Amino acid sequence: MPNKVLLVDDEVSILKALERLLTRSGFRVFTATSGAEALQVLQQNNCQVVISDYRMPEMNGAELLARVKRLHPDSVCLVLSGFSDFQSVLQLLNSGTAFRFLQKPWEDDQLLAEIDAAFRLYRHQRSERVRSQLLIAGNGALLELSPEAVILRSNGAAQQLLGQTAAGLAGTLFEQWFHLNDNQQQAFLQDIHGSMDVHDRSGEAFELHVQYQDAEATLVGFKRLQQQDGPAAIYTSGLMDQHAVLQKLDSLLAQQRPFAVAAVRLKNFSDWADMLGFAEAGQLFETISQILTQACRPYGSLAYLANELFILTLPDAPDEVSVHQQLTDLLQKVRLQLEHQAMALRPQFTVSYCMAPEDGDSAKGLLNNVLTSNRIHLHSPHAFFMRFSAGVADKKRQQLRISDALYRAVEHEQFELYYQAKLDLHSNVIDSCEVLLRWRHPELGMVSPALFIPIAEHDGQIIEIGLWVMRQACLSAVRWREQQQPLTRMAVNISGAQLAQADFIAQVQRIFSETGVDPSMLELELTESWMMQDLTQSAQALQALKSLGVRIAIDDFGTGYSSLAYLSRLPVDVLKIDRSLIQDLEANINTQSLVSNICRMAHALRVEVVVEGVETAEQLQMLRDMGCDLAQGYLIARPVPEAEFLAQLGAPGQIIGAD
């Protein structure tokens, strides 16, 4: 992202001199001769540093910079003025509104040094804010580490897992809590997509992973793999460990003939521990381990790693048919033995395998690949034996790359808003739209929202992204109203993860206040599945949102619970029927009856009905006849950038889907 500077001064000669100096120094420079013009420039351009004169007509530097800090809190502001203004500027410096006071006339080298310091402060504040958001919103336990691996901050989940307070963790070394040597620690922290299984100082096993990293700090996530008195402590004698597995794999590879290695994970052990207690669950695990060991002897060698994970080498399995036959026989023996012992609980296994040397020509490569495949398929509902797939592993690595890139996408101005028109079926006029997010990455290209939105929701970036979308949508709405565009309403999608944030309502209220948007123009869409997770909590959160003056819409109706009964309990204004419900509308009388009844019942509750995914004129006419209020889909308009949408909105006599 280029370093952007906005220069504000009512003297054109000064602006030109500064612009020449900063342009030669590699900055991208914007200029304004008044406070009002400066605010307009900032609406269109994310300038990290703003340098303003103090004495200007209509809006002086103090008033301008105060508004900049409210509207663009990330920007770093400096004052460039005569020395006689210093006392007036002192209050701005003390309040944090202005970073530095620079005196006219200036020394070029000193001015450039101060501007460099302002950009360093911008990067520091932004990085710290991103890390703070992730500590609050991220899934699981997180520790913030300095470059020297000193713990700076921790979230509640980390404090609970380690049994410490925030003060007890702050200032301590990472290595005090996890056993890993300097080389392991250095290699781990340098691998942004890496993970590592380690033990803490009490012997419990944990999986570490790098969640986020910038020049100042690293966020390390971790989760417990097993407890100290768990299965590994109860029964590990007679089984190979990881070192022995690698030696075994090296030996088999040296024979230069095909073989297989499988990972077998007992995936429902934690459920047993919840139901029975860890001690009794551990005894069951010991029984299963003994049975599994006996069952494996005709086929190969068994090892135990961690997290209820076994590794089985199959030297006499030269092809996939042999692998499937041996694994099927092995697990059948385990199940029969458990039935013979009248065990009420049944184990559930996740089984993956690699064929050597096709899936890896080194011991470490084979082990890493079979473990990767097992982790990827851990939550799969299917009971198949899953062979390692380089394509699936690449897809997982691509997801990690996308997650990493999302942390910087807002700062690097890679997002843009598209707008999809909605047709009012009563007036047959386009007067509203839905805001849709698009991501144009310099290397990944256009990344589908279907791919990056779930990643952002899971890893926490959705908080910053969602606020950016809300601010930009509000600025668009204000700009269009000033242009007297005939827009009545704009729909913006809200993630359930955003609404779960304690300060989300306050953040939205601040954006409304700072942008001057009319909240009645906005319609906030949330998915039906999120609302149904906790109906009471959803009603409270939606009521708080509605109190801001916006309308509330249920998105994707028909993909989840699809019950109209809960609408009377929620402060909902709009129901959006999902495209899946109208795919066979023209040919299926049952679908026609269903959509017609949804529309009728929604109207009885004074809820407006929008149908998305309309692609044919026949669908449009039938929906109009059923009394639906608005339609959205490719028949009407595709999502387009602002200029194209305004052309659709402003076209005189815009009539689409007419009889």
CATH code where residue 63 lies: 3.40.50.2300
Domain end marker among 56, 90, 125? 125
Q: How is the chain split among helix, strand and coil, in percent rounded to 5?
A: 45, 20, 30
For the chain, the average pLDDT equals: 85
Domain end marker among 125, 148, 165? 125
Asked if residue 182 has pLDDT above 80, the reply is no
Please state the separation of Cα 367 from the chain's center in Å.
Answer: 30
pLDDT (0 to 100) of residue 49? 95
Taking only the tens place, the pLDDT of each residue in 211-226 is: 888 888 999 988 876 4
pLDDT (0 to 100) of residue 230? 45
Alpha carbon distance 499, 476 (integer Å): 22
Q: Are residues 302 and 247 in the same domain?
A: yes
Asked if residue 232 has pLDDT above 50, the reply is no
Number of domains in the chain: 4
pLDDT (0 to 100) of residue 631? 94
For the beta sheet containing 218-226, the strands, ordered from the edge strand earlier in sequence to the opposite edge, are 151-154, 141-145, 218-226, 205-213, 195-200, 178-179
Alpha carbon distance 195, 197 (integer Å): 7
Q: Are residues 67 and 88 in the same domain?
A: yes
Q: Are residues 606 and 631 in the same domain?
A: yes
Taking only the tens place, the pLDDT of each residue in 293-352 is: 888 888 888 888 776 788 999 999 999 999 999 999 888 888 887 776 655 567 788 899
pLDDT (0 to 100) of residue 346? 73
Taking only the tens place, the pLDDT of each residue in 573-629 is: 999 998 888 888 888 998 899 899 989 988 998 999 999 999 999 999 999 999 999
Q: Are residues 207 and 252 in the same domain?
A: no
658 within domain boundaries: no
530 within domain boundaries: yes
CA dihedral 176, 177, 179, 182 (to 10 degrees): -50
Q: Are residues 519 and 617 in the same domain?
A: yes
499 within domain boundaries: yes
Average of pLDDT values for 164-168?
91
> Residue 556 is part of a domain; what is its CATH number?
3.20.20.450
Asked if residue 561 has pLDDT above 70, the reply is no
Predicted confidence band at 146 (pLDDT cuts at 50, 70, 90)?
A: very high
Contact of 38 with 27, CB cutoff 8 Å: no
pTM value is 0.69
394 within domain boundaries: no
Residue 365 host element (H or E): helix 363-376
92 within domain boundaries: yes
Give, in order, the Cα–Cα distances in Å from 174 to each of 158, 160, 204, 637.
12, 16, 16, 54
Q: Are residues 463 and 343 in the same domain?
A: no
All residues at 6 or more sequence positions from 120 whose CB lies less than 8 Å from its CB, including other chains: none
Other beta carbons less than 10 A from residue 18's beta carbon: 20
256 within domain boundaries: yes
User: Do you find a cis peptide bond into 105, omega within 30 degrees of 0?
Assistant: yes
Alpha carbon distance 540, 520 (integer Å): 20
By residue range, what is the domain housing residue 642? 399-650
CA dihedral 54, 57, 58, 61 (to 10 degrees): -10
Alpha carbon distance 77, 65 (integer Å): 7
Buried/exposed 295-326: b ≥16 CB within 10 Å, e otherwise: bbeebbbbbbbbbbbbbbbbbebeeeebbbeb
Lowest mean pLDDT among 280-284, 329-333, 488-492, 586-590: 280-284
Alpha carbon distance 216, 170 (integer Å): 16
pLDDT (0 to 100) of residue 607? 93
Taking only the tens place, the pLDDT of each residue in 105-129 is: 899 999 999 999 999 999 898 888 8
Residue 63: both structure tokens together: 């008033």
Helices (H), 410-503: 449-459, 462-482, 496-499
Lowest mean pLDDT among 131-145, 280-294, 350-364, 643-657: 643-657
Contact of 648 with 423, CB cutoff 8 Å: no
Alpha carbon distance 83, 91 (integer Å): 15
Which amino acid does the sequence have at 117?
A
Q: Are residues 57 and 178 in the same domain?
A: no
Residue by residue, DSSP assigns 95-113 as HTS-SEEEESS--HHHHHH
553 within domain boundaries: yes
Beta bridge partners of 261: 313, 354
Q: Are residues 614 and 509 in the same domain?
A: yes
Q: Are residues 238 and 103 in the same domain?
A: no
Alpha carbon distance 487, 650 (integer Å): 9
Residue 330 host element (H or E): helix 320-340
> Residue 356 is part of a domain; what is its CATH number?
3.30.70.270
Taking only the tens place, the pLDDT of each residue in 526-546 is: 887 777 777 788 888 889 999
Share of the chain above pLDDT 90, in %: 36
Q: Are residues 286 and 380 in the same domain?
A: yes
637 within domain boundaries: yes
Q: Are residues 497 and 617 in the same domain?
A: yes
Domain end marker among 204, 226, 248? 226
Taking only the tens place, the pLDDT of each residue in 387-432 is: 888 777 777 778 888 988 998 898 888 999 999 999 999 988 898 9
Q: Are residues 535 and 625 in the same domain?
A: yes
pLDDT (0 to 100) of residue 652? 45
All residues at 6 or more sequence positions from 653 whose CB lies less than 8 Å from its CB, including other chains: none
Taking only the tens place, the pLDDT of each residue in 436-479 is: 999 999 998 999 998 899 889 888 889 899 999 999 999 999 99
Nearest of 173, 136, 178, 177 to residue 157 by alpha carbon: 136
Alpha carbon distance 112, 118 (integer Å): 10
User: Do you find a cis peptide bond into 73, omega within 30 degrees of 0?
Assistant: no
Taking only the tens place, the pLDDT of each residue in 496-529 is: 888 888 888 998 998 998 888 999 999 999 887 7
> Residue 200 is part of a domain; what is its CATH number?
3.30.450.20
Other beta carbons less than 10 A from residue 449's beta carbon: 15
Other beta carbons less than 10 A from residue 139's beta carbon: 15
Alpha carbon distance 291, 604 (integer Å): 63
Helices (H) and strands (E) in the chain, counts: 24, 25
Nearest of 357, 381, 380 to residue 369 by alpha carbon: 357
Tokens 């929701």 belong to 457
Alpha carbon distance 404, 421 (integer Å): 32
